[in-house]
Amino acid sequence: MGWIPSTVSGRCYCIILFFLAGAPWIFLWTNQPFLLDLLCRGLILAIAATSLNLIMGYGGMVSLGHAAFIGIGAYCVGIPAYYDIYNGWVHLGLTVVVSAIFALLTGLVSLRTKGVYFIMITLAFSQMIYFTFVSLEEYGGDDGLVIYLRSEFPDFLTMQGPVALYYWIFSTLLLTLFLVHRLVHAHFGRVIVGAKHNEQRMQLLGFDTYRYRLTCYVISGVICGLAGMLLGNFTGFISPEMMNWIRSGELIFMVVMGGSGFLFGPLIGTGAFVFLEQYLPEFMKFLNPSWLEYWHLPFGLLLVLLVLVGKGGIHGMLSKLDSKAQQSSK
Amino acid sequence: MTRPLLHISGLCKSFGGIVATDHIDLEIRPGFIHAIIGPNGAGKTTLIAQLSGTLIPDAGQIKFNGHNITSLSAPNRVKLGLARSFQITSVLLPMTVLENVMLAIQGTDGHSYRFWTPIHKDHEMLDRGMTYLQMVGLEDRARYLAAEVSHGEQRQLEIAMTLALKPRLLLLDEPMAGMGLEESARMIRFLAGLREQTTILLIEHDMDAVFSLADTLSVLVNGRVIATDTVKNIRANPEVQRAYLGDDHA
Ligand SMILES: Nc1ncnc2c1ncn2[C@@H]1O[C@H](COP(=O)(O)OP(=O)(O)OP(=O)(O)O)[C@@H](O)[C@H]1O
Ligand SMILES: [Mg+2]
């Protein structure tokens, strides 16, 4: 049966995708709307993390400002909704255009730099837009905006109701994964990956690496913007807090934890992150109620451990199972 | 006399107090193999870096095929037909040998803003990649990672990638560096075979290689060209012998 992946990790991802495809029905039957919510949030973040993986994991551009795009996408729903414009195509179009422009303008400047400087500049840009929205009193400033109705796609697929929204999110994730997969194996992606490993060599092979990276950055920004658009629809409440640099840092963690530079790394990384964030406090409380407020400590330690022990993140650990299996079958 | 393919005039470059390139004037004629020899630290690699566009000279001019390329970016020089290999092997280690060559083909083959078709389905490019690997005798290593093959094979790959750029002028920075005797001999034969296809600027420590390959020869000492002549005349030049070759070569 050729369509079953031959590796342990491949099978795991297959199972995860099948589970995700049916998850809403499982949670509805078992009457766990909360779990469905958690899953929605996790998958939205997974889309954002996958977009970050494209520039960071494949392209070596570590951005500490990627959450800015989540915020942009969310406000591209929120601000029209504030003026009673609920047409989803408008929201979608705005998200794509504004994210692309923001990525292009900030990328033009930040991609001139490398390493720590790139991290700092992306951070600076995201804080700039963060404080811009904080100061926009008209749109709630610090307090944010409430979105009363979800984006409407008349004569297309509805987003109303938890299950419909879930499938919007799930299909966007699938599309994103597929797109990134095609991209990194196509001519374009080879240039991006090559420039990560040896930029000077790539330039001396005739590639204007700056332009290729800029294109990649814009693609990644737009995908992350779409995640923001979904997040705005999901939470129904948006605020500048969504683009805080701490959110960007969490995205990096999700990618690294899952396996930077691997297609499914961000998805499992996000899963692990959201799970721990949700259940570690409860677990701490279960051990000793007074420990609850210290849950960040084991959380941080676990993250560091995952990154250190499993080089290549969770994906790296799964791949080790593969090589072990191969060795024992020899 | 034919017009020079590469014309360097008054080229200067210093790093702080170190003068690495000191008013270099040089002409390379099409179809020639021109070698540059010189002791360690003479400024040979620095010269190549300025020719390929990774280092900006402090003063002077570089003309390639009639164009002034002094301030042209490195990728655009490659597109004009100026390709270099590296003294320190500079291949993409996590990619396969074939992928490395295919990247080089991509680099001069129009643009790579092709987002959808996987590269391993681009049969035309696969074939072309294999052709270059066959030229350097690496075809049975095609599917190995560049990190997995031997040092000598990485050197061959380096050459294959440079050739895949279809250069009009090949800048080779010590292509035999770190190779065994047998591998070197093979590389010398191979480079001799390239004579018909392109012009070569060869930097090499290996005197046997230089003397058997080069048509003309420049001696670089402390960033200055102290002599440029035919191989025969250089060997007989007393100043060169004193500065570089040593008595045993006399
Ligand atoms: N980036 C740099 N910064 C400072 N000094 C440099 C730099 N690159 C080269 N140099 C100095 O310039 C001089 C010429 O170096 P270069 O590498 O061009 O010599 P080379 O002739 O290629 O030597 P080798 O035979 O060892 O390869 C040396 O003194 C070197 O230390
Ligand atoms: Mg050198």
DSSP B75-90: HHHHHHTEEEE-SS--
CA A205, CA A221: separation in Å to the nearest integer? 27
Q: How far is the CA of B41 from the centre of ligand 1 (A)?
A: 5
CA A199, CA A213: separation in Å to the nearest integer? 11
Question: Do B172 and B76 share a domain, yes or no?
Answer: yes
Of the listed ranges B41-45, B150-154, B180-184, the least confidently predicted one is B180-184
In a domain, B6, yes or no: yes
Number of structural domains in chain B: 2
Q: Is B167 a residue whose pLDDT tops 70? A: yes
Q: Is A330 a residue whose pLDDT tops 60? A: no
Question: Do B186 and B228 share a domain, yes or no?
Answer: yes
Q: Is B246 a residue whose pLDDT tops 60? A: no
Which residues of chain A have a CB within 8 Å of the CB of B122?
187
Domain boundary among B166, B185, B208: B166
Q: Is A187 on the interface with B (CB under 8 A)?
A: yes
pLDDT value, residue A234? 97
Q: Which residue has the higher pLDDT, A46 or A328?
A: A46
Q: Are B20 and B14 in contact (CB under 8 A)?
A: yes
In a domain, B88, yes or no: no
Q: Is A1 a residue whose pLDDT tops 60? A: no
Question: Do B174 and B250 share a domain, yes or no?
Answer: yes
In a domain, B86, yes or no: no
Question: Do B173 and B160 share a domain, yes or no?
Answer: no
| 3-state SS assignment for residue B30 | coil
Quote ipTM for the complex. 0.91
| 3-state SS assignment for residue B147 | coil
pLDDT value, residue A272? 93
Residue among B15, B172, B206 to mutate when testing ligand 1 (max atoms within 8 A of CB): B15
Domain boundary among B166, B194, B227: B166
Which residues of chain B have a CB within 8 Å of the CB of A175?
none
Q: Is B35 on the interface with A (CB under 8 A)?
A: no
CA A283, CA A295: separation in Å to the nearest integer? 9
Which residues of chain A have a CB within 8 Å of the CB of B53?
203
The terminus-to-terminus CA distance of chain A in angstroms comes to 22
CB contact under 8 A, B94 and A197: yes
Tens of pLDDT, residues A215-245? 999 999 999 999 999 999 999 999 999 999 9
In a domain, B159, yes or no: yes
b/e string for B144-177 if b means 16 or more Cβ within 10 A? eebeebeebbbbbbbbbbbbbbebbbbbbbbbbb
Q: How far is the CA of B40 from the centre of ligand 1 (A)?
A: 8
Q: Are A88 and A159 in contact (CB under 8 A)?
A: yes
In a domain, B87, yes or no: no
Q: Identify the residue among A184, A190, A200, A205 best suited for mutation to test binding to B, counting B beta carbons within 10 A and taking the highest.
A: A205
Question: Do B39 and B143 share a domain, yes or no?
Answer: no
Q: Are A162 and A37 in contact (CB under 8 A)?
A: yes
Question: Do B155 and B176 share a domain, yes or no?
Answer: no
Residue among B22, B37, B46, B202 to mutate when testing ligand 1 (max atoms within 8 A of CB): B46
If one counts every other C-beta atom within 10 angstroms of the C-beta of residue B193, the result is: 10
Which atom of ligand 1 is nearest the CA belonging to B42? Answer: 21
CA A299, CA B170: separation in Å to the nearest integer? 56
pLDDT category, B247, cuts 50, 70, 90?
very low
Question: Do B101 and B58 share a domain, yes or no?
Answer: no
Per the structure, the complete domain to which residue B61 belongs is given by 1-81+168-250
Atom 29 of ligand 1, residue of closest alpha carbon: B41
Residues within a 6 A CB radius of ligand 1: B 15, 18, 20, 38, 40-46, 87
Question: Do B62 and B180 share a domain, yes or no?
Answer: yes
Question: Do B173 and B250 share a domain, yes or no?
Answer: yes
Q: Are A63 and A55 in contact (CB under 8 A)?
A: yes
pLDDT value, residue A327? 67
Which atom of ligand 1 is nearest the CA belonging to B47? Answer: 18
Radius of gyration of chain B (CA): 18
Q: Is B249 a residue whose pLDDT tops 50? A: no
pLDDT category, B248, cuts 50, 70, 90?
very low
Which residues of chain B have a CB within 8 Å of the CB of A202?
103, 107
CA A61, CA A260: separation in Å to the nearest integer? 12
CA B102, CA B115: separation in Å to the nearest integer? 16
Domain with B6 in it: what CATH number? 3.40.50.300
Mean pLDDT of chain A: 92
Measured from the alpha carbon of residue B24, the closest ligand is 1
**Of B79, B113, B118, which is closest to A185 when you measure between CB atoms?**
B118
Q: Which whole number is the average pLDDT over B142-163?
A: 93
Q: Which whole number is the average pLDDT over B12-28?
A: 94
pLDDT value, residue A178? 97
Q: Which whole number is the average pLDDT over A179-207?
A: 96
Under 8 Å CB pairs connecting chains A and B tally to 91
In a domain, B39, yes or no: yes
Tens of pLDDT, residues A56-86? 999 999 999 999 999 999 999 999 999 999 9
Q: Which whole number is the average pLDDT over A41-64?
A: 97
**Tokens 């407020």 identify what position?**
A293
pLDDT category, B178, cuts 50, 70, 90?
confident
CA B143, CA B140: separation in Å to the nearest integer? 8
pLDDT category, B245, cuts 50, 70, 90?
low
Tens of pLDDT, residues B91-147? 999 999 999 999 999 988 878 888 888 888 899 999 999 999 999 999 999 999 999
Percent of the residues in chain B that have a pLDDT greater than 70, as a whole number: 96
Q: Is B182 on the interface with A (CB under 8 A)?
A: no
pLDDT value, residue B242? 74
Tens of pLDDT, residues A139-163? 999 999 999 999 999 888 888 889 9
Question: Do B112 and B51 share a domain, yes or no?
Answer: no
Question: Do B197 and B211 share a domain, yes or no?
Answer: yes
Q: Which whole number is the average pLDDT over B73-94?
A: 93
Q: How far is the CA of B45 from the centre of ligand 2 (A)?
A: 4
CA B3, CA B16: separation in Å to the nearest integer? 36
Domain boundary among B166, B183, B199: B166
Question: Do B12 and B113 share a domain, yes or no?
Answer: no
CA A99, CA A105: separation in Å to the nearest integer? 10
pLDDT value, residue B244? 65
Shortest Cα distance, chain A CAs vs residue B150, angstroms: 19
If one counts every other C-beta atom within 10 angstroms of the C-beta of residue A13, the result is: 20
Q: Which long-range contacts (CB under 8 A, 24 or more apart) does A86-94 make?
A: A86/A149, A86/A150, A86/A151, A86/A152, A87/A151, A87/A152, A87/A154, A88/A151, A88/A152, A88/A153, A88/A156, A88/A159, A89/A153, A91/A151, A91/A229, A92/A151, A92/A226, A92/A229
Q: Is A109 a residue whose pLDDT tops 80? A: yes
Of the listed ranges A155-169, A300-314, B44-58, the least confidently predicted one is A300-314
Q: Are A73 and A93 in contact (CB under 8 A)?
A: no
Which residues of chain A have a CB within 8 Å of the CB of B115?
182-183, 186, 188-189
CA B211, CA A191: separation in Å to the nearest integer? 39
CB contact under 8 A, A207 and B161: no
Q: How far is the CA of B45 from the centre of ligand 1 (A)?
A: 7
Q: List the one residue out of B6, B93, B87, B101 whose CA is nearest residue B49.
A: B87
CA A262, CA A302: separation in Å to the nearest integer? 21
